[in-house]
């Protein structure tokens, strides 16, 4: 950017004519809601999660595909334009050909377009995975973003519960790859056909009333039987006094639905048996239960126990989207934020069977099933709890400004050996430099003054060992005298000693 050349230039004259208010007017440093600044810890957690989850998809025979960020709005399907500017749910703009395009809100709608466009040349089933950002023009909230990363796997062109069972097993492996141990996650499975069957059995036929009923059932884990019963009837008042309108069902209808919602048992097989009794003899319900029975059989053969994947009649997902089995992946581990307060994040992924999405383009059935992990939400939780940390660089302290070439050479030796290293380029003294290294989460600092330089040695301060030793010391003077974690070594040994501290071979 250029600057006015002098007081006689035109540019200088324009500046001189500006009022004091105009010269001092500055924009507010602010960012749009729902678009978080991602720190190094969050970025590192996202990359690790994407890599580890993608490796699961690859092992199961899926190939990578990236369809790009923009799609034509009419191809997205979920948020079709109903005004001159379609911006409900998506971020849309008009291209130079006057057609509306929008940032993708997930990876599945672009997949459906890709499959339909390339139907004749792709293998079927078509198995692909995708990882990258998606955008939603929705109200943001805590750990609910307008831009976030999803990591998906989908099979297109395959029908039947075997494909759904495989996807549930993949979801379980993906949760393990994300860091969930045994008992720290569960995949909750239900069926759209079973939900349709119980609506028929309960006599809930009006589409609008069905939506209210299903939203009530979805609140079972949050409100329990009493809360769901209120939502199925006259409505529920929360602690703030706000009232949620109920579905207005009769007592006999509510009894049928409560029996259904409480059918979950310890084992999948027992839950399926109870669901068969609840759904009755409806064709849709019987078909859904039969699918769950086959899914249970396959999951058992794959070693997926009842603690890892369970049948849960309260799971309700995308009623206009899913056509068969549906499932949610829940992270059960309790995270804690920087203040130590507990955080529970619940569902971090989901999926199911969607046989109508590709059919929108082709006009003929194209069965499909898939699973998606919300990577950004999980990474943000890990970073907030301190689980996702990035180790900083080894810091070479600068004690003698006239020896910058020597300090630069020391850092270069470390970097050539594969060690992340930085020379301090600020203007502060030694104490402040060590504090800077602490804030960068550096594993160690290298100290070379005139004495070390003359003797051909370096002083290394192992910051991790020092911090661990400091926890057991109550005498500050003793800590200063002992200098735990600090030692000297020949310059020729510096790289090896630093690599040992950093845990590198």
State the pairing for strand pair 185-191/235-237.
Answer: unpaired
Three-class secondary structure assignment of 245-285? ECCCCCHHHHHHHHHHHCCCCCCHHHHHHHHHHHHCCCHHH
Whether 263 and 119 share a structural domain: yes
Q: What is the mean pLDDT of residues 57-61?
A: 97
Region of 235 (left: φ > 0; alpha: ψ -120 to 50; beta: rest) is left
> Distance between terminal CA atoms of the chain?
47
Specify if 426 maps to a domain: yes
Q: How many structural domains compose the chain? A: 2
Q: What is the mean pLDDT of residues 52-58?
A: 97
Beta-bridged to residue 459, according to DSSP, are: 447, 488
More confident residue, 87 or 150: 150
Given a cut of 80, whether residue 208 has pLDDT beyond it is yes
Whether 364 and 401 share a structural domain: no
So what's the pLDDT on residue 116?
Answer: 94
Could you tell me where the DSSP H helices lie in 27-100? 40-59, 73-76
Specify if 399 maps to a domain: yes
Query: In the chain, what percentage of residues exceed pLDDT 90?
Result: 61
Whether 178 and 231 share a structural domain: yes
Q: 19 falls in which pLDDT band (50, 70, 90)?
A: low
pLDDT tens for 411-441 read: 999 999 999 999 999 999 999 999 999 999 9
* pLDDT, mean over the chain: 87
Cis omega (within 30 of 0) for bond into 125: yes
Whether 374 and 498 share a structural domain: no
pLDDT tens for 235-262 read: 888 877 788 888 999 999 999 999 999 9
Query: In the chain, what percentage of residues exceed pLDDT 70?
Result: 88
What Cα–Cα distance (Å) separates residue 471 from each residue in 386, 417, 464?
Answer: 19, 32, 11
Given a cut of 60, whether residue 478 has pLDDT beyond it is no
Q: How far is the C-alpha of 272 from the C-alpha of 293, rounded, in Å? A: 7
pLDDT tens for 379-405 read: 887 777 666 678 899 999 999 999 999
So what's the pLDDT on residue 365?
Answer: 82
Given a cut of 50, whether residue 4 has pLDDT beyond it is no
Question: Residue 368 is encoded by which pair of tokens?
Answer: 């499909």
So what's the pLDDT on residue 12?
Answer: 46
Whether 381 and 423 share a structural domain: no
- Domain boundary (357, 385, 413) is at 385
Classify 183 as helix, strand or coil. coil
So what's the pLDDT on residue 14?
Answer: 52
Whether 402 and 378 share a structural domain: no
CATH code (residue 342): 3.30.930.10
Q: What is the mean pLDDT of residues 468-494?
A: 72
- Domain boundary (338, 363, 385) is at 385
More confident residue, 70 or 38: 70
In angstroms, how far is CA 165 from the centroid of its own chain? 23
Q: 347 falls in which pLDDT band (50, 70, 90)?
A: confident
Q: Angle of helix 251-261 relative to helix 192-202, nearest 10 degrees?
A: 150
Range of 415's domain?
394-502
Q: How far is the C-alpha of 186 from the C-alpha of 46, rounded, in Å? A: 21
Specify if 337 maps to a domain: yes
State the pairing for strand pair 486-490/421-423.
Answer: unpaired
Whether 377 and 411 share a structural domain: no
Given a cut of 50, whether residue 472 has pLDDT beyond it is yes
Q: What is the mean pLDDT of residues 308-322?
A: 87
Whether 189 and 257 share a structural domain: yes
Given a cut of 70, whether residue 174 has pLDDT beyond it is yes
pLDDT tens for 277-295 read: 887 778 999 999 999 999 9
- Domain boundary (333, 362, 385) is at 385
CATH code (residue 471): 3.40.50.800
- Weakest-pLDDT range from 133-142, 335-344, 440-449, 471-480: 471-480
Phi, psi of 342 (to 5 degrees): -70, 145
So what's the pLDDT on residue 3?
Answer: 41
So what's the pLDDT on residue 393?
Answer: 95
Whether 72 and 191 share a structural domain: yes
- Weakest-pLDDT range from 74-88, 113-127, 473-487: 74-88
């Amino acid at each position: 950017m250029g600057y006015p050349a002098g007081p006689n230039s035109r540019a200088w004259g324009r500046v001189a004519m500006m009022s004091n208010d105009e010269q001092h007017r500055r924009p507010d440093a602010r960012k749009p809601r729902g678009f978080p600044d991602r720190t190094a810890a969050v970025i590192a957690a996202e990359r690790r999660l994407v890599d580890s989850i993608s490796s699961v998809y690859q092992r199961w025979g899926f190939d990578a595909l990236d369809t790009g960020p923009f799609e034509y709005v009419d191809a997205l399907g979920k948020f079709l334009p109903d005004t001159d500017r379609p911006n409900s749910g998506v971020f849309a703009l008009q291209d130079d050909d006057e057609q509306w395009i929008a940032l993708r809100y997930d990876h599945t709608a672009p997949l459906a377009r890709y499959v339909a466009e390339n139907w004749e040349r792709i293998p079927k089933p078509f198995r692909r995975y995708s990882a990258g950002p998606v955008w939603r023009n929705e109200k943001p909230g805590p750990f609910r973003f307008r831009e976030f990363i999803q990591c998906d796997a989908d099979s297109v062109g395959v029908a039947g519960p075997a494909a759904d069972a495989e996807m549930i097993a993949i979801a379980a492996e993906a949760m393990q790859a994300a860091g969930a141990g045994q008992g720290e996650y569960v995949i909750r499975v239900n069926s759209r056909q079973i939900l349709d069957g119980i609506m028929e059995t309960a006599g809930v036929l009006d589409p609008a009333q069905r939506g209210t009923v299903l939203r009530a059932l979805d609140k079972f884990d949050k409100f329990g039987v009493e809360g769901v019963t209120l939502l199925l009837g006259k409505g529920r008042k929360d602690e703030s006094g706000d009232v949620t309108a109920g579905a207005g069902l009769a007592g006999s209808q509510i009894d049928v639905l409560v029996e259904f919602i409480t059918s979950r048992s310890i084992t999948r097989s027992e839950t399926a048996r109870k669901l068969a009794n609840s759904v009755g003899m409806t064709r849709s319900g019987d078909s859904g239960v039969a699918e769950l029975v086959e899914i249970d059989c396959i999951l058992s053969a794959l070693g997926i126990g009842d603690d890892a994947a369970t049948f849960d009649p309260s799971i309700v997902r995308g009623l206009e989207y899913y056509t068969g089995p549906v499932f949610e992946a829940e992270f059960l581990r309790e995270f804690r934020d920087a203040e130590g307060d507990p955080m529970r994040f619940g569902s971090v992924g989901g999926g199911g069977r969607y046989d109508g999405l590709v059919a929108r383009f082709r006009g003929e059935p194209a069965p499909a099933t898939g699973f998606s992990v919300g990577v950004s939400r999980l990474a943000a939780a890990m970073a907030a709890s301190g689980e996702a940390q990035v180790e900083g660089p080894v810091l070479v302290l600068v004690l003698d400004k006239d020896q910058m070439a020597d300090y630069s050479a020391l850092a270069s030796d470390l970097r050539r050996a594969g060690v992340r290293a930085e020379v301090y380029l600020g203007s502060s003294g030694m104490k402040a430099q060590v504090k800077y290294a602490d804030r960068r989460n550096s594993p160690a600092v290298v100290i070379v003054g005139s004495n070390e330089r003359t003797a051909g040695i370096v002083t290394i301060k192992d910051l991790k060992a020092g911090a661990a030793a400091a926890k057991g010391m109550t005498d500050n003077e003793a800590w200063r005298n002992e200098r735990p974690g600090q030692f000297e070594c020949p310059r020729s040994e510096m790289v090896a000693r630093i690599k040992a501290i950093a845990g590198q071979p």
